[in-house]
Amino acid sequence: MLDLEGPDAVAFAQAQFANDVAALAAGHWQWNAWLNPKGRTIAVFALLRTGAESLRLLLPDFDAAELGDTLRRFVFRRKLAILPRPDLGAAGAFAAPAAARGAALAGEQDAALELDFGAPGLPRTLRLSPAPAPADAAAREAWAMADLRLGLPRLPAPQREQWTPQQLGLKRLAAFSVKKGCYPGQEIVARTHFLGKAKRAATLLRVADAVPPGAAVVQEGHAIGNVASAAGHAPRLALAVLALERDAAPLQAGGAEAVPEPFVDGLAR
């Protein structure tokens, strides 16, 4: 977790991240992304507006201290503190939240915050508190699989800066804006949106256990895309970025059949 605090916190986030932070009301959260200047996704995260001058980033796949160090290079003279929060833990449950609903947070910033992290077809609750996160590998894997079902990419380091938001399906999460002012990669994102030039899109696949992120997806002997995220075992799920123009022939990944699965809608915030 990473906190941004100070009078310029919102303006700084508005200039750096792909979604419209300025329009986010206090006590609410949104999906957001940080892109490189070529419009490729470095990180996907939940951004919470915990107060009028405070934001919190929940980073499932990016080290908070590393991101904080990188963002500080762009602070210049802004009145802003960027603070990793190793004192806070995150615990999830496959159940509807008690009080949080949709994008509205429930609870207190540093005591216990509850987020509605699921959808009607796959309810989940995420709680942030000073309690340490449970060390349960099986539960973490089940959570990562649910992320993929809901269309949330989980990007390991080799898959960063490979994909545009459109290719990763971040429109499904309402995680980027084509209307707000300039941010790194905005020109590429807007051009793709308004000129309709996206040639690849995210597809959820059920794959063999050995298939890793980066693996090629093949149809009739030709590679048509690659796996961006993968999680789980028997079944194993993969979020793959595939060519939009393809026929109905079977797909393969890692030398075994790859079967398309439907996403669960409703995680947009």
**CB–CB of 146/125 below 8 Å?**
no
pLDDT in tens, 22-41: 999 999 999 999 999 999 99
Token pair, residue 69, equals 């160090």
Across 160-169, 187-196, 216-225, 236-245, least confident range: 187-196
User: Is the model's pLDDT at 132 over the cut of 90?
Assistant: no
Query: 177 CB contacts (<8 Å, ≥6 apart)?
Result: 18, 19, 20
pLDDT tens per residue, range 50-84: 999 999 999 999 999 999 999 999 999 899 999 99
- Asked if 174 and 18 count as a contact pair (C-beta separation under 8 A), the reply is no
- Whether 111 shows a pLDDT value over 90: the answer reads no
Nearest to 161 by CA among 17, 41, 38: 41
CA 79 to CA 6: how far, in whole Å? 6
pLDDT exceeding 90 applies to what percent of the chain? 88
The pLDDT score that the predictor gives to residue 54 is 97
Which of 81-95, 132-146, 160-174, 249-263 has the least mean pLDDT?
Answer: 132-146
Q: What is the pTM of this model?
A: 0.94
| CATH (residue range 2-154) | 3.30.70.1400
Q: Which two tokens stand for residue 34?
A: 């940080």
For the chain, state the CA radius of gyration: 18
Segment 197-211 shows an average pLDDT of: 92
Residue 162's SS3 state is coil
